[in-house]
């Protein structure tokens, strides 16, 4: 099919064949179609949607646009993927934790998308850290250290690498079929035995409601199961950022705190619970009850094993360990104090994500460089009784003016006196 016919078919809501989608994904990966035609199709797909058959075909076509990894015998292979949130550094904690707990974790992650952060951008705030490693090295590191983290590449889900970046720049992110194909093309290319999905719901998520989250979860679960992967999905709240630090380098700092057995409770709890799900799926006889797996993961965080595994992974990918104490720091730290007393729920996650993006923590254009030090450091946890004048957090920025402007948006987005919702809403 000619590319213009392929675009007009979607524009007019007509279904295309599996072969058409395979040809499209392969041309996207090879650069055979220019950005403007790919973007036109993305907008048509966003507006008209994809049928279930088209979503499955696009997912498999995107997976097959690169190599599907073939592993030898060894520990069970597992991975988790989040649908995108604000302050969501769970992958950075979970990957070394799961490896230290007895799994192989070949994690292919993404960059920031819309107002949400990206694991690769966070990792790149570590001096020297290489997240573009070649397949052979990636597989070697997973076999040796139990964990490696990389991005989509010329060899691994290359169609997603291009579509992901174009969706980010064309306001076509929040589409269930496109999210589904993006996530699963990477995860199926890893060829893992077990997957855990963290489906974010709430203001700072792409899925705003539990109904939308459940629909996305069902689509992800159905395709994963059809591809022979064991899977569990969690619906988790994203009305407020996870943890106290949002922004690339700040989130790496918080990761280190949690890996040292410290840090905020919500990041620790979710990292442990999602890792426990992987362990229970991999070793059902050893971990028949959630409490057994949760208790074991907690011990591995507290005894330093997960931290040691993180250091091993970072060093193996060129990251400078001594750089941890000298992760990029913003020149300006601007205090925000409460302008009233009351029960403070926190900062609305969508607004905060957009503020961090505007400070340089995310992108508006494909070629935009990230400012790794920009972000928001909360001093008081969400869900606390506050006195007027109490300092709640700090904006980390390049200059005083952008910090001040960010502070106005953040204050405006404070939420007060609302009931607190549980972090984990549903397990599917
Ligand atoms: N994560 C992905 O990899 N892709 C999406 O579209 C959303 C979250």
Tell the residue nearest (CA) to atom 6 of ligand 1: 179
Whether the Cβ atoms of residue 185 and residue 108 lie closer than 8 Å to each other: no
Q: What's the 154 CA to ligand 1 centre distance in angstroms?
A: 18
Instruction: Kindly report the CATH number that applies to the domain delimited by 328-416.
Output: 3.90.1170.30
Q: What is the pLDDT of residues 165-187, one digit of tens each?
A: 999 899 999 999 999 999 999 99
Element (H, E) at 398: none
- Does the beta carbon of 83 lie inside 6 Å of ligand 1? yes
> Does residue 277 line the site of ligand 1, with CB under 6 A?
no
The model's confidence at residue 323, banded by pLDDT at 50, 70 and 90, is low
Residue nearest to atom 8 of ligand 1 (CA): 83
Print burial letters for 226-245: b (CB count within 10 Å at least 16), e (below 16): ebebbbbbbbbbbbbbbbbb
% of the chain surpassing 70 pLDDT = 100
Q: Which has the closest alpha carbon to 42: 57, 63, 25, 26?
A: 25
Q: φ, ψ for residue 15 (rounded to 5)?
A: -80, 140
Confidence of residue 322 (pLDDT cuts 50, 70, 90): confident
Query: What average pLDDT does the chain have?
Result: 95
In the predicted model, is pLDDT for residue 325 greater than 80?
no
What number is the average pLDDT over the span 218-243?
Answer: 96
CA angle centred on 313, ends 125 and 309, rounded to 5°: 115
Give, using CA atoms, the residue closest to atom 3 of ligand 1: 183
36-65, pLDDT tens digit by residue?
999 999 999 999 999 999 999 999 999 999
Sign, CA torsion 284/287/289/294 = negative
Closest CA to 78 of 267, 232, 183: 232
Q: Tell me: the pLDDT tens digits for 79-105? A: 999 999 999 999 999 999 999 999 999
The secondary element (H helix, E strand) that includes residue 119 is helix 119-123
- Residue whose Cα lies nearest atom 2 of ligand 1: it is 183
pLDDT at 396: 98
- Measure the CA–CA gap between 11 and 197, rounded to whole angstroms: 31
How distant, in Å, are the alpha carbons of 120, 317, 351 from that of 175? 22, 33, 20
Residue 89 alpha carbon to ligand 1 centre in Å = 15
Name the residue of 88, 150, 182 whose CB sits within 8 Å of the most ligand 1 atoms, as the mutation to test its pocket: 182
Residue 366 banded pLDDT, cuts 50, 70, 90: confident
Give the separation between CA 302 and CA 291, rounded to whole angstroms.
16
Q: How far is the CA of 179 from the centre of ligand 1 (A)?
A: 5
Confidence of residue 367 (pLDDT cuts 50, 70, 90): confident
Q: Which of 145, 65, 160 is nearest to 108 (CA)?
A: 160
Contact (Cβ atoms closer than 8 angstroms) between residue 238 and residue 348 = no
pLDDT value of residue 44: 98
Topology at the third CATH level for domain 3-49: 1.20.970
Give me the active site residues, please. Answer: 81, 160, 167, 182, 186
Residue 193 CA from chain centroid, whole number = 20
Report domain extents, the chain: 3-49, 78-316, 328-416
In CATH, the number for domain 78-316 is 3.40.1030.10
């Amino acid at each position: 099919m000619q590319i213009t016919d392929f675009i007009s078919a979607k524009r007019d809501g007509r279904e295309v064949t599996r072969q058409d989608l395979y040809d499209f994904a392969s041309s996207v990966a090879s650069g055979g179609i220019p950005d403007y035609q790919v973007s036109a199709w993305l907008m048509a797909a966003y507006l008209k949607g994809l049928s279930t058959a088209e979503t499955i075909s696009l997912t498999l076509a995107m997976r097959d646009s690169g190599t599907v990894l073939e592993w030898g015998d060894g520990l069970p292979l597992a991975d988790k993927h989040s649908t995108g949130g604000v302050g969501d550094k769970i992958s950075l904690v979970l990957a070394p934790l799961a490896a230290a707990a007895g799994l192989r974790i070949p994690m292919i992650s993404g960059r920031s998308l819309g107002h949400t952060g990206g694991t690769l951008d966070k990792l790149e705030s570590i001096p020297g850290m290489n997240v573009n490693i070649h397949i052979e090295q990636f597989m070697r590191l997973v076999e040796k250290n139990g964990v490696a983290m990389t991005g989509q590449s010329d060899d691994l889900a290359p169609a997603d690498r291009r579509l992901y970046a174009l969706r980010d720049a064309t306001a076509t992110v929040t589409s269930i079929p496109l999210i589904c194909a993006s996530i699963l093309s990477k995860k199926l290319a890893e060829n893992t035995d077990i997957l855990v999905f963290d489906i974010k719901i709430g203001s700072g998520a792409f899925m705003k409601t539990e109904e939308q989250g459940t629909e996305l979860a069902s689509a992800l679960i159905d395709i994963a199961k059809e591809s022979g992967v064991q899977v569990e999905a969690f619906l988790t709240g994203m009305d407020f950022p996870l943890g106290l630090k949002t922004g690339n380098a700040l989130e790496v700092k918080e990761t280190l705190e949690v890996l040292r057995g410290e840090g905020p409770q919500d990041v620790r709890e979710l990292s442990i619970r999602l890792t426990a799900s992987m362990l229970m799926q991999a070793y059902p006889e050893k971990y028949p009850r959630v409490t057994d797996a949760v208790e074991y993961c907690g011990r591995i965080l507290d005894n330093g094993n997960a931290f040691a595994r993180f250091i091993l992974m970072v060093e193996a990918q060129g990251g400078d360990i001594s750089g941890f104490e000298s992760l990029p720091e913003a020149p300006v730290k601007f205090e925000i104090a409460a302008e009233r007393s009351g029960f403070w729920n926190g900062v609305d996650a969508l607004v905060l994500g957009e503020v961090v993006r505007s400070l340089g923590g995310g992108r508006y254009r494909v070629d935009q460089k990230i400012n790794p030090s920009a972000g928001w450091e909360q001093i008081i946890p969400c869900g606390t009784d506050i006195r007027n004048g109490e300092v709640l957090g700090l904006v980390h920025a390049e200059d005083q003016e952008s910090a001040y402007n960010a502070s106005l948006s953040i204050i405006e987005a404070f939420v007060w006196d609302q009931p607190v919702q549980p972090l984990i809403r549903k397990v599917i």
